[in-house]
Amino acid sequence: MADIVLDKVGKQYPDGTVAVRDVDLEIADGEFVILVGPSGCGKSTLLNMIAGLEDISSGELRIGGERMNEKAPRDRDIAMVFQSYALYPNMTVRENMAFPLRLAKLDKATIDEKVAEAAKVLELTELLERKPANLSGGQRQRVAMGRAIVRSPKAFLMDEPLSNLDAKLRVQMRTVVSRLQKRLGTTTVYVTHDQTEAMTLGDRVVVLRAGVVQQVGDPQTLYDHPANLFVAGFIGSPAMNFLSARALDGALRTALGDVPIGDRLRGMLERGEAPQEMILGVRPEHFEDAALVDEAARAKGREFEAPVELVESMGSDKYVYLTVEGERASSAELEELAADAGAADLPAGGANLVTRLSAESRVREGGPYKVWFNLEKIHLFDPSDGRNITLHEGRAAGIS
C-alpha cells in the first residue's frame, strides 16, 4: 500500500492535442479517489498514465514516494479493473485470478490459497472452474475485481468498472466495491462517468474537464460549494437549474422574480469584480411547495408562480417541471454539459425548471402554482468564465 502523488502531470499527443494538463493531486494511503467528468475529459488517460499504459508527457508520478514515470506497468505493482473486464476468455475463473500470481512466480500452494481467499470474499468459489463466457455480467465483474485484489497490490485502478452492468446490479456492486475497499484499505483511483457513483463511493472527488482539474473535494463540498458552473451542473441529479440574472437597481432580475443583492455582492459589483449579467443556479431540492413552507422559513426565500408542465411522483417526493418566462442562461460550460448528457438530462436551461417538492404537495399539472425557493442556497455564476461568484473562503454565500 502506498500513496500516489501526481506532480504537474500532463499528456500531450504528437499532433498537439492536450489530453491532460498539469494535474496536481496527492492521494493519501488508503484513500478512495474518484475521477469524474464527461467523456473525453481526460480521466481515462490520467488513469492509464498512473497505470503505465500511457506515457506521461510532463510532470512526475510517484507511488509510495518512488518516481514511476519510466517504469513498466508490471513494475508498478498496481492492479487495474477494466470497463470491459478484460477477462482472458481462454482461461477459467481460477486461471484468470491466478494469472498475476503465476506471472509473479509464486508457488502453487500460495497461489491456490490466495485465489481461494479472494474467491470467498467475492462469492466466486462455486464459479472457479467456469470460463468467462459462461458467467453473467455481474459475475464477470466480480472476477475482474478478484483478479485485481488477489495479489494485494499497492493500489487499485478502476476504469468505469460498473458501466456495463444494468441499473440494479450497478447499485448492488457499488456497495460491494465500497465495502471491499474499506475492508482492504487499499489506495484506489476510480474513474467514472456516473456522478451518482462519484458522490457515493469516494472519499474525495476530482472533477475534470478538457484535461483540467476543475475542483477536488469530498462529495458534499462539491455538491454544496461547486467552484464553477461546470461542477455545479455536473454534480447532482436532477441537475441544478440555471437562469439568467441581471443586476439592476439594487436587485437581481430573474425569471423567478427579483432577488435582493447582499452587501458582499454589492461590493463586488461596485468594484467590478462581478458582472452585471450573471447566471443564477438553484438545485431542485431547494424549491418547495409554497403552501407547505412555514413562516420562519418563508422569510429566507422567495415565492413565485409558474405554470406546471408535468408532475412525476416518486413516492418519497415529487418532481415538478415548471415553465418560466425569461431567457435561457447560456455559456460554454452549459453547452458542454448538455451535449454530454445528450440534453435529455438537462431540462434546466432557463425556460424549464425542475423542482423537487414534498410528497404532500397537492400540485397538479396544468394550471399555475405557487412555489417557494431558498435564497440561502442559491449560487451565482459569472457566464464569461463560469466561476462561482457566491463562493468565498470555502463558504456558500447565499445572498445575505
Partner 1 sequence: MESRGAKWRWGLLDVVVVVFALIPVLWIMSLSFKTTNTLTDGHFIPREWTLENYKTIFQTDQFVRALVNSIGIALISTLIAVVLGTMAAYAIARLDFPGKGLLVGVSLLIAMFPQVSLVSPLFDIERRLGLFDTWPGLILPYITFALPLTIYTLSAFFKQIPWDLEKAAKMDGATQGEAFRKVIAPLAAPGVFTTAILAFIFCWNDFLFAISLTSTERSRTVPVALSFFTGDSQFEDPTGSISAAAVVITVPIILFVLFFQRRIVSGLTSGAVKG
Partner 2 sequence: MSATSTAAKHRAQPLSRAEKARLSEGKRAERRLGWLLCAPAAIVMVAVTAYPILYSVWLSLQRYDLKFPDDREFVGLSNYVTVLGNQYWWTAFGVTMLITVVTVVVELVLGMALALVMHRTLVGRGIVRTSALIPYGIVTVVAAFSWRYAWTPGTGYLANLFSDSAPLTERASSLAIIMLAEIWKTTPFMALLLMAGLALVPEDLLKAAAMDGATAWQRFTKVMLPVMKPAILVALLFRTLDAFRVFDNIYVLTAGANETSSVSMLAYNNLIKGLNLGIGSTMSVLIFLTVAIIAFVFVKLFGTAAPGSSEEGRR
Interacting residues with partner 2 (CB under 8 A) = 12-14, 16-18, 21-22, 55, 57-58, 209-212, 214, 228, 230, 332-333, 384-387
Q: How far is the CB of 340 from partner 1 (least distance, A)?
A: 23
Distance CA 244, CA 254 (A): 6
Smallest distance, Å, CB 70 to partner 2?
Answer: 12
Q: Which residue's entry shows cell 474525495? A: 204
Rg of the chain on CA atoms, in Å:
24
Question: Which CB, 14 or 315, lies closer to partner 2?
Answer: 14
CB of 11 to partner 2, least distance (A): 9
- What does the alpha-carbon distance between residue 333 and residue 212 come to, in Å, rounded to a whole number? 13
Rounded to whole angstroms, how far apart are CA atoms 125 and 112? 12
Is residue 42 close enough to count as binding partner 1 by CB under 8 A? Answer: no
| Nearest CA-CA partner of 386 in 315, 342, 335, 314 | 335
Taking the C-alpha atoms of residue 361 and residue 340, their distance in angstroms, rounded to an integer, is 33
**Site size toward partner 1, by CB under 8 A:** 23
- Residue 88 contact, options partner 1, partner 2, none, Cβ 5-8 Å cut-off depending on partner type: partner 1
| Interaction between residue 82 and partner 1 (CB under 8 A) | yes
DSSP 40-90: TSSHHHHHHHHHTSS---EEEEEETTEE-TT--GGGTTEEEE-TT----TT
| Residue 79, contacted partner among partner 2, partner 1, none, CB below 5-8 A by kind | partner 1
Residues between 153 and 182 that touch partner 1 (CB under 8 A): 157
Per CB under 8 A, does 99 bind partner 1? yes
Q: Of 311, 319, 335, whose CA–CA distance to 242 is shortest?
A: 335
Per CB under 8 A, 152 contacts partner 1: no
The residue from 51, 128, 145, 278 that contacts partner 1 (CB under 8 A) is 51
Over the window 53 to 72, marking each residue x when it contacts partner 1 by CB under 8 A and - when it does not, the resulting string is: x------------------x
- Contacted by 147, from partner 2, partner 1, none: CB < 5 to 8 Å by type: partner 1
CA distances from 286 to 151, 211, 240, 282, 316 (A): 47, 32, 10, 7, 16
Kindly give the pairing relationship between strand 287-289 and strand 368-374.
antiparallel
Residues that bind partner 1 (CB under 8 A): 51-53, 72-74, 78-80, 82-84, 86, 88-90, 99-100, 103-104, 147, 151, 157
